[in-house]
Amino acid sequence: MRPTVLHDLRAHPDPDVLGDFYSSVLVPSFSPEELSPESDLSHGLARLDGVQLHALVAVDTQTGRAIGGVVATLFARSQVLLVAYLAVRPDLRQGGLGRHLVDQARLRWAGLEAKLILAEVHDPRYHASTDPWAWSRVQLYDEMGARALALPFVQPEVRRGAGRARHFLLLVFHAEPSVVTDVGAGSSVTASVLEDFVLDYYADAEGPSRADDGDLAWLVGRLRAGTAVPLLPLSRLDEVPRDPRSG
Ligand SMILES: CC(C)(COP(=O)(O)OP(=O)(O)OC[C@H]1O[C@@H](n2cnc3c(N)ncnc32)[C@H](O)[C@@H]1OP(=O)(O)O)[C@@H](O)C(=O)NCCC(=O)NCCS
């Protein structure tokens, strides 16, 4: 791995580091509909309440250039931290930086005292034909100790006009004991904290919810139907329910 320093953009705002990270790392790693505008990232990093962004950027100590980073959204009301982006510059992948970033983020963001640390990924059962890395990504997160929620997830519109994205998995990197129940051989996450998170995430991405919002009503209805959502090892992905509303 190249020698890097981690730049915490919330603690030390720097438009040059953010701009370099955005254009050299995020733009080549995500499709336009997946990526929020740079100005939104800048705004979220400066916010002190409500919905705050946190970002760690790996800067090459020799060149001073951004070569990777991780961005997460803290929803203050539900106390859930959602990893929004994890990326390494395309020419420097598979050198261990991705794993290093996740390890560092876990250490540094433990102090935020989130009830849950989540990430959302393409469900490879649906996306493998268009996203060749869908299975490898799940494998990587499995090695990092993540587990999947048994909940088919629809990502809200993260960029205006791009539409929602179907067939996502919500992965859990960390869950506070207060939101975990052990049932028989497995663990589950309290449904109410997930409902709070879904409502916060949709409202932040798309604005106040509409009475005719079918996706949101379906997700909330599903969460209200039970008290907890099972956590599954990623080796048992086939047990995550499929969205019955689409093929
Ligand atoms: C996922 C990603 C951050 C991993 O970074 P990295 O520095 O290559 O990670 P590491 O070197 O620590 O681990 C490499 C592993 O990642 C896996 N991987 C997942 N997606 C990958 C991708 N798009 N390109 C290369 N490797 C990828 C590889 O299978 C590899 O596993 P291996 O070591 O068993 O061969 C990086 O590949 C990336 O930026 N991908 C595009 C953006 C993305 O998909 N982000 C995750 C969703 S938010």
Q: Which of residues 81, 114, 147 is at a domain's end?
A: 114
- Three-state SS for 224-235 is HCCCEEEEEEHH
Q: Does position 183 have pLDDT exceeding 80, yes or no?
A: no
Range 64-82 average pLDDT: 97
Mark whether 149 and 101 lie in a shared domain: no
pTM (predicted TM-score): 0.94
Same domain, 235 and 123: yes
Provide the domain limits for residue 90.
1-114
Q: How far apart are CA 211 and CA 139, in angstroms?
A: 38
Q: Kindly state the tokens that stand for 55.
A: 């970002």
The candidate with the shortest Cα–Cα distance to 137, out of 162, 109, 102, 164, is 102
Whole-number pLDDT of residue 245: 86
Provide the pLDDT confidence category of residue 33 given band limits of 50, 70 and 90: confident
The yes-or-no verdict on residue 185 having pLDDT over 80 is no
How confident is the model over 137-156, as a mean pLDDT? 95
Q: Could you tell me the distance, in angstroms and rounded to a whole number, from the CA of residue 94 to the centre of ligand 1?
A: 6
* pLDDT average, residue stretch 229-245: 93
Ligand 1 centroid distance, CA of 137 (Å): 6
The answer to whether residue 67 sits within a structural domain is: yes
The residue whose CB lies within 8 Å of the most ligand 1 atoms, and thus the one to mutate among 60, 89, 140, is: 140
Euclidean distance between the first and the last CA atom of the chain, given in angstroms as a whole number: 41
Average pLDDT score over residue span 43-58:
94
Rounded Cα distance, 32 and 234, in Å: 28
Asked if the structure places residue 227 within a domain, the reply is yes
Q: Which residues have CB under 6 Å of ligand 1?
A: 29, 85-88, 93-99, 121, 133, 136-137, 140
Going 161 to 49 to 10 to 147, the CA torsion angle's sign is negative
Q: Which of 56, 79, 73, 68 is nearest to 6 (CA)?
A: 56
Give the pLDDT score at 247: 59
> For residue 160, what pLDDT band results from cuts at 50, 70 and 90?
confident
Give the Cα-Cα-Cα angle 79, 81, 86 (nearest 5 degrees): 175
CA–centroid distance, 243 to ligand 1, in Å, is 27
Model pLDDT for residues 116-139, shown as the tens digit of each residue: 999 999 999 999 999 999 999 999
Instruction: For residues 148 and 203, state if they share a domain.
Output: yes
Whether residue 32 sits in one domain with residue 16: yes
**Has residue 140 been placed in a domain?**
yes
Q: Which atom of ligand 1 is nearest to the CA of 92?
A: 7
pLDDT at 49 > cutoff 90: no
User: Contact at 8 Å (CB) between 152 and 242?
Assistant: yes
Ligand 1 atom with the smallest distance to the CA of 88 is 39
Answer yes or no: do 90 and 166 share one domain: no
Residue nearest to atom 12 of ligand 1 (CA): 96
Answer whether 83's CB lies under 8 Å from 105's CB.
yes
Mean of the per-residue pLDDT values of the chain: 94
Judged by DSSP in three states, 120 sits in strand
Domain total for the chain?
2
Q: Whose CA is nearest to atom 30 of ligand 1?
A: 94
